[in-house]
Amino acid sequence: MSPVLFTLYLSKVVEGRDKFGYIDDVLVKSTASTPRAARALLAAKAGRTVRLLEQLHCPVAPAKSEYLLISKGTIYSEPLRVERLPVLRPKPAVRWLGFWINSRLKFDTHVSH
């Protein structure tokens, strides 16, 4: 299946302002006034996204699932619990579409890779 057709197939999964998709990569984001609230919102949104993908017969690869918490203050290490996925521990940086993004939104992680 061509990348364009697959992206169209997944369009229901990535509709809205908090989800982005490119080919077979899906990013779910959440913003809130506290890290705890952001984590709770993200768990709910990610759970709905996983269910939608399963309904479309596109299962999520748990080994490729990553979690990054971006905040101004303390670096948080609390895990994220999403139904149908193993517990996700926050990463100091993740790579998405060729760019390295770290928990402080600094470009130095990308440059060093």
Q: Give pTM, 2 decimals.
A: 0.78
40 CB-near residues (< 8 Å, 6+ apart):
32
Predicted confidence at residue 70, as pLDDT, reads 84
CB 31 within 8 A of CB 38: yes
Identify whether the C-beta of residue 79 lies closer than 8 Å to the C-beta of residue 36: no
**Look-up: residue for tokens 């908090």?**
18
Tens of pLDDT, residues 75-97? 778 889 998 899 999 888 888 88
**How would you write the pLDDT of the chain (113 residues) with one tens digit per residue?**
577 777 777 777 777 777 867 767 788 888 888 888 989 999 999 998 899 888 888 888 888 899 888 877 777 788 899 988 999 998 888 888 888 888 888 877 878 87
The amino acid that residue 102 corresponds to is: N
Q: Is the dihedral of CA 43, 45, 51, 56 positive or negative?
A: negative
Please give the pLDDT value at position 81. 92
Domain ranges of the chain: 3-112
